[in-house]
Chain A
């Protein structure tokens, strides 16, 4: 059984074919142009970034040698004694790790409170004045674009060495990051409860307390926990610039080539970060579950 495939007459077919070829050629041109631009950007970056492949291949073994050096000598006969020697500073390191977590906690909580206060001012659906919204948003943007460690560097000079500059730096960065996320949550709420409270005579604060907060609180807590997780990592390196926590001991160990200390501290940091990740993830899943049920 043969099926007749209809053929368009040449006069009709040719412009169609030409248009198709043009479209394909345009797409191909765009692709080639993009690839060339990308290659130029990579080449330029390699030149600016002083990429030295010969130096790299020459020294690459050092990367593995570095890690090999950090592996402590552990033999089976004296296993526990070797472990104890590897973690010789365990007491001090655990205290510093505790400090690191507390710096992250205090910084996150203070920043979350500030972000909470600012986020309502940065939400266009709650504040009519455009000037206030604009100012609040730009403030938050400034707070989160300047890296926290830069704030820490400046604060160390103003407030002296110790955890205080670290806490303040984390506070400012957290204010910016959480304020933005909070404002986005607030802008996506259902406007009907707000109108209801307004219709029954509630003022601006009552509208926020009884109509906005119940809708956003679980999201706020979830974002706050996520930020705490990020801030623990941030607080771990605050010590690099003298702003407290475990970072100080770590950078000292790296600078003075105490290889096994480096690995011991890194192991402790990685384990702490993993435990906190696991813990906050569980709490967040429970919160999300609660939200889905209500």
Chain B
């Protein structure tokens, strides 16, 4: 073994031993360079097509800096204003809670219809899926606009809007959770003489309910963020106050409201992640 060390002593030796590692793979390199160039070209084309005014960038940024400077320190103005903002934040939380749970309640039967292992009928399954896809394709803000023209301005329209958009997302998530459930408990129930409904009730649901509950809580968390903005189109909550204060350039109040949103979202995140761990932990313990 006097040859071994020599082979690794020089670069030429290593190259002789591992030619494959030193050959340039022009094909894959060309592909990578081509992809990057195509992306850059589309980027430039986008800037041109959108007519981005680069001359606005510097004065705009200066103005933005000015806004941020006047935001400090965040200040709600007066006690009455603070109370109004807190009430609006409460409205936002209400919209988020009722919208999420309402959406979940509506989506649950739909998800059973859209799950292949509950309803074997292919047409029902297909129609339920496409229906959920369509509902999901419409943004929460658009639903809010529609509901505002049905029940008028205010948080109730926001609740109904969140319900609609969550109905689509939950329907998809729930049906996927139901389809991935273990089928052995259902077979067990059927083998002891239960019918199909018993199989779903006692074999399927106990498996999926903790999963669904944790998904609902997760959505409650993310809906708190969406519920802060639907006020922009008049559907209640803190968003109405926020967009109004931005329009009248009350930057200190804007900063206060944004801070309020950040703190509330952080609190809800913390609360719901603790609850979720409690639910999933319990489910794991009962297995």
Contact = CB atoms under 8 A, between A and B. Distances in A.
A49 B101 CA distance: 14
Nearest to A159: B60
Nearest to A155: B64
Interface in A239-270: 240-241, 244, 250-251, 254, 257, 266, 269-270
Interface stretch (B1-9, B19-27, B107-115, B141-149): B141-149
Contacts of A99: 49-50
Contacts of B246: 150, 153-154, 157
A63 interface: yes
Interface residues of B, number: 63
Interface string A45-80: 110111110011001101100100000000000000
Contacts of B145: 251, 254
Interface stretch (A84-92, A161-169, A190-198): A161-169
B156 A146 contact: no
A149 interface: yes
B39 interface: yes
B50 A41 contact: no
Contacts of A186: none
A42 interface: yes
Contacts of A160: 53, 56, 60
B142 A250 contact: yes
B98 A158 contact: no
Contacts of A182: none
A99 to B, nearest CB: 6
A56 B156 contact: yes
Given A42-B97, A157-B67, A146 B232 contact: no
A158 to B, nearest CB: 4
B262 interface: yes
Interface in B54-82: 56-57, 60-61, 63-64, 67
A124 interface: no
A105 B43 contact: yes
Contacts of A63: 146-147, 150
Contacts of B94: 44-46, 48-49
Contact of A46 (B53, B64, B98): B98
Contact of A164 (B52, B95, B146): B52
A93 to B, nearest CB: 15
B61 to A, nearest CB: 7
A103 B236 CA distance: 28
Contacts of B95: 45, 49
B262 A146 contact: yes
A49 B50 contact: no
B139 A236 contact: yes
Given A41-B97, A49-B91, A158-B63, A269 B137 contact: yes
A94 to B, nearest CB: 13
Interface residues of A, number: 56
B38 to A, nearest CB: 12
B226 interface: yes
Contact of A50 (B57, B138, B154): B154
A59 B49 contact: no
A145 interface: yes
A157 B246 CA distance: 9
Contact of B46 (A106, A146, A150, A236): A106
B97 A45 contact: yes
Contacts of A59: 150-151
Given A102-B49, A266-B138, A266-B142, A49 B262 contact: no
A55 B51 CA distance: 46
Contacts of B98: 42, 45-46, 49, 51
Nearest to B243: A153
Contact of B91 (A48, A55, A102): A48
A49 B61 CA distance: 38
A62 B233 contact: no
B249 A244 contact: no
Contacts of B47: 106
A149 B262 CA distance: 15
Given A142-B262, A153-B232, A164-B50, 7 more contacts: A45-B98, A55-B152, A59-B150, A149-B229, A150-B229, A150-B242, A233-B139
Interface of B: 39, 42-43, 45-47, 49-53, 56-57, 60-61, 63-64, 67, 87, 90-91, 93-95, 97-98, 101, 133-134, 137-139, 141-142, 145-147, 149-152, 154-156, 158-159, 225-226, 228-229, 232-233, 236, 242-243, 246, 249, 254, 258, 261-262, 265-266
28 contacts: A42-B101, A44-B94, A45-B95, A48-B91, A48-B94, A55-B151, A55-B156, A66-B149, A99-B50, A102-B49, A102-B50, A109-B43, A147-B226, A153-B243, A154-B64, A154-B246, A155-B64, A158-B63, A159-B63, A163-B51, A164-B52, A164-B53, A167-B50, A240-B141, A244-B50, A250-B142, A254-B145, A269-B138
Nearest 4 A/B pairs, CB to CB: A45-B94, A49-B94, A159-B60, A270-B137
